Structure 1
Amino acid sequence: MSHPVVVITDTEELDPGPAVRLLSAAGFEVRVVGSRAPDAIAAAARDADALIVGYARIDAALFDRMPRVRMIATMSAGHDMIDTDEAARRGIWVANLPHAATEDVAVHALAQALALVRRLPQADAVVRSGGWSQDLADVPRRAGELTLGVLGLGRIARVLTRIAGPVFGRIVAHDPHAADWPDGVERVDLDTLLARADVLSLHVPSTPGTRGMVDAGLLARMRPGSLLVNVSRGDLVDPDALLAALDEGRLAGAALDVFPVEPPADDDRLRSHPRLLLSPHSAFLSDASLRAYVTEPARNVIAWWTDGRPHTPVVVPSGPTATASA
């Protein structure tokens, strides 16, 4: 009897070795393509039962070239690289990776917020230039007297509110879609959130309704001298409006882990503005998350093959083609 075949498309900087070992031990033949190119994927997956996908685009044309595929596992929480409507129509499962870096991203958001509050980049620059505490331009504010505002209350934001609760004086949040509400977090409308937050942390997905939402109008409604943190999606923030708010002093600072274009161009003012704290889309990074990004998709494929259902499905097809052929 032939082994089921799983193809790993693109892994970027991740090591596919742990996934290969897990899948091989479960009886799979594993092929690592190491590319997003449709022709390379189609050649490797012509007889594949399942795919593990990084950023490669899997659309109807590619599905046509992989007629046996019945399961796709993404190496991320996002699954917009997969044509999920087409997958459902063809009876193909799609599973994502919702929890691999939840704690890491929440901790990164808190770390960036506190670095802004305590003015750590400025303090670092003073010491490196030969100065000392008397040379600090501004005295940091006490976090326990400040309000943390959270826009969007998904899984990462909920962890953030839990770990930030003992640090900040108050936490307020706005999310019209949240079904339940965590203890210790005050539910407010958007205008109240913007008016009260000393630090505003963004935690909303990129959709047609949210792209560019942090524009000049929204920034003007924020509390004067407040701080902005974005570990969510780069296209939520209008960069020109952000730079203008920083130049004019309406915002005291901002921390960005994500950008409209990644990486930013060398001459992009986002790279050089003194009131910006930057990280290279690394909020998700940890030794634990890097392991999970490859092992958990493999476990999704194994669960689908052995039990008929992956652990974290986002497309649940119906009909006989939806099941594994074991």
Structure 2
Amino acid sequence: MDSRPLVVVTDLDQPSLAEEEAVSAAEGFELVRAECRTEEEVISAASGADALIVQYAPITRAVFEALPKLKVVARYGVGVDTVDVDAATEHGVAVCNVPDYGTEDVSDHAIALALSLARGVVGLDRELRTGNYSLAPVQPLHRIAGRVFGVVGLGLIGAATARKARGVGYQTIGFDPLYEAGTTTADGTEVVTFDELIRRADVVSLHVPLNAHTRHLINADVLEAMKPGAVLVNTCRGGVVDTEALVDALRSGGIRAAGLDVFEQEPLPKDSALFELPNTVLTPHAAWYSEESQVELKRRTAQNTADVLAGRKPRNIVNPEVLA
């Protein structure tokens, strides 16, 4: 009988577990892969598990109640909105994430979406492929220099996005409840209120976690308050934006365009109205990805798991009180 701690990977959208297996071999735990989409599937696949490594599978209160041996749930990524952290804490289970692995990659992607919309790149490509050389479908386009780039959430990724936006000529403003309006961040972003950012920004780029305070942060009222020529960029979580309200704003011309990497429902349903709108640029939750970030994410998620199982403090933990 294998006496090593059992670690179950509940779900992963990549074929290889090479990084996780390397940590497993070095740290002495058993690694088993499953393909779970529901809490029932997690409970069934992880019977007797000491730890879970999770990507998108829901880790709910029912999961913690059904798996009493659990010591740690480690998530591939920054957000832990798929994990009931309160229930984990009540059951003495550590919840770990990797909050800084994709800072450069996600901020790169946010800038790429913003610039593709600012220069009409995707719209021009679509038209050219049909033989249309006219600029009319994307007019008017404006020079980037002097335009205002608003960053909602000034954490690591938001700050990196603001830095890169300034590098291509944007004036940057930002909102974050942890910063006082009227101040300037250490790297040069003017801090304003949320309402002022929405009113002033030509680009609104979202960099906040998904929680009770941020769900549908971008709703019909906020979209109505944006400039008619503004664009929305979302590389954080789909639920931060009210999709139905966004579709209405894009159809009516309430805002100019949207660049979206994340959606309220993923994969994005084939009948989503977003596909029908010419003023959208859509990517499949890809902002996190580079070869470098992928390796780092997988290795660090497995190492966080190993550290908790070995009685060590992990590099990243959301609820450190459980280890006190």
TM-score under structure 1 length normalisation? 0.87
Query: Using a 3 Å threshold, how does the CA distance of structure 1 residues 37 and 223 change in structure 2: closer, same or farther?
Result: closer
The yes-or-no answer on 1:210 pairing with 2:214 is yes
37-46 or 163-172, larger mean C-alpha shift: 37-46
User: 1:125-274, aligned counterparts within 5 Å?
Assistant: 125-132=126-133, 137-178=138-179, 181-274=185-278
Q: Is the 8 A contact 1:75 1:294 kept in 2?
A: yes
Give how far 1:77 is off: 1.6
Query: Using a 3 Å threshold, how does the CA distance of structure 1 residues 214 and 309 change in structure 2: closer, same or farther?
Result: same
177-186 or 17-26, larger mean C-alpha shift: 177-186
Q: Is the 8 A contact 1:46 1:67 kept in 2?
A: no
Residue 301 (structure 2) aligned to one of 297, 304, 311: 297
Q: Secondary structure at the match of 2:274?
A: helix
Extract unaligned runs of 5+ from structure 1.
none
Query: Using a 3 Å threshold, how does the CA distance of structure 1 residues 220 and 308 change in structure 2: closer, same or farther?
Result: same
User: 1:105-116, aligned counterparts within 5 Å?
Assistant: 105-116=106-117
Tell me the residue number matched to 1:58: 59
Tell me the residue number matched to 2:89: 88
Whole-Å Cα distance in 1 between the matches of residues 279 and 192 of structure 2? Answer: 28
Deviations 1:77-133 (A, max 9, x none): 222333322332333222112122222111111000001111111221232222436
Give how far 1:289 is off: 2.5
Whole-Å Cα distance in 2 between the matches of residues 86 and 251 of structure 1? Answer: 40
RMSD, matched Cα: 2.6
Q: Is the 8 A contact 2:8 2:33 kept in 1?
A: yes
Q: Secondary structure at the match of 2:83?
A: coil
Q: Secondary structure at the match of 1:294?
A: helix
Deviations 1:8-39 (A, max 9, x none): 22223352232022212222222223334556
Query: Using a 3 Å threshold, how does the CA distance of structure 1 residues 155 and 265 change in structure 2: closer, same or farther?
Result: same
Deviations 1:158-212 (A, max 9, x none): 1101222111331011112237834221111123212221111122222333322
Whole-Å Cα distance in 1 between the matches of residues 5 and 311 of structure 2? Answer: 14
Residue 283 (structure 2) aligned to one of 275, 279, 284: 279
Q: Secondary structure at the match of 1:241?
A: helix
241-250 or 72-81, larger mean C-alpha shift: 241-250
Q: Secondary structure at the match of 1:313?
A: coil
Q: Secondary structure at the match of 1:314?
A: coil
In our comparison, the structure showing a higher alpha carbon Rg is: 1
Q: Which amino acid aligns with 2:85?
A: T
Extract unaligned runs of 5+ from structure 2.
none
173-182 or 155-164, larger mean C-alpha shift: 173-182
Whole-Å Cα distance in 1 between the matches of residues 78 and 286 of structure 2? Answer: 15
Give how far 1:140 is off: 2.5
Tell me the residue number matched to 2:76: 75
The yes-or-no answer on 1:97 pairing with 2:92 is no
Give how far 1:310 is off: 1.0
Query: Using a 3 Å threshold, how does the CA distance of structure 1 residues 42 and 135 change in structure 2: closer, same or farther?
Result: closer
Q: Secondary structure at the match of 2:74?
A: strand
Give how far 1:135 is off: 5.9
Q: Is the 8 A contact 1:165 1:184 kept in 2?
A: no
Whole-Å Cα distance in 2 between the matches of residues 274 and 44 of structure 1? Answer: 43
Give how far 1:150 is off: 1.1
Query: Using a 3 Å threshold, how does the CA distance of structure 1 residues 258 and 245 change in structure 2: closer, same or farther?
Result: same
Tell me the residue number matched to 2:16: 15
Q: Secondary structure at the match of 1:205?
A: coil
